[in-house]
Amino acid sequence: MHPTLNIAVKAARRAGSIINRASLDVDLLTVRTKQPNDFVTEVDRAAEEAIIEVIREAYPDHAILAEESGASEAESEHRWVIDPLDGTTNFIHGFPQYSVSIAYQVAGVTQQAVVFDPNRNELFTASRGRGAFLNDRRIRVSKRTRLGEALIGTGFPYRVFTHVEMYLAIFRELTEKSAGLRRPGSAALDLSYVACGRYDAFFELGLAPWDFAAGALMIQEAGGLVTDFAGEADFFETGNIVAGNPKVFAQLMQVIQQHRGDLA
């Protein structure tokens, strides 16, 4: 295991233990609203601090971009992109679908990825050029070839509602044309589920880099495709993401193209 991946796993597991302890007393949490439908708890902060501490100990000069504390002052081509608790709203409600997401980038390109589900003790990892794994077992995207047989993951717009009508039009068509849509509420886990074949595809608008930095590499290393809504590789800039196994991805993109207008 590459040293940076080793550190990411160590950090994710440490954050996971903090989250698991807190989940036993979820009613005692102090919840703050960052903006409508966007929440933060002291668990998010404690988990993030634990992750940063592990990284800083090993790589004190690396830059960090984290959901709660933002971007660090450090200027380096080495950057860690962190979501300490992806699925905070689920966590607050005791709904057991949330994760820790950590990506390590060099010059803007993700090299290592970890998504950890502390509920199920499932550790998804990927290294650029070396494949994707779930608890040390190699994973691949699904082999389904038809949209009509595909299970598709998504995330409802919850922060920005500018494109909600377009989203609902895509959602409606896919409800008729796919085997089903799911919206569990942790994009990092959703993307990991595409990588291991639990979903055949996924799409969402308005995500932040820490939501998908790890999951995108996971899918690519598992043989899948990841683009923005225009089919380009600019999802880090747009925050709009479409992913899937190659066959279902192409059919999902056809549906999206009919409704997206000039949205990238």
**CATH class, range 147-259:** alpha beta
Q: Do domains 3-138 and 147-259 have the same CATH topology?
A: no
pLDDT at 151: 98
**CATH class, range 3-138:** alpha beta
Q: What is the phi/psi pair of residue 65, to 5°?
A: -120, 110
* Mean pLDDT lowest among 7-16, 32-41, 191-200, 243-252: 32-41
Model's pTM, two decimal places?
A: 0.95
Domain ranges of the chain: 3-138, 147-259
Please give the share of the chain, as a percent, with pLDDT higher than 90: 85
pLDDT tens digits, one per residue of 96-132: 999 999 999 999 999 999 999 999 999 999 999 999 9
pLDDT at 154: 98
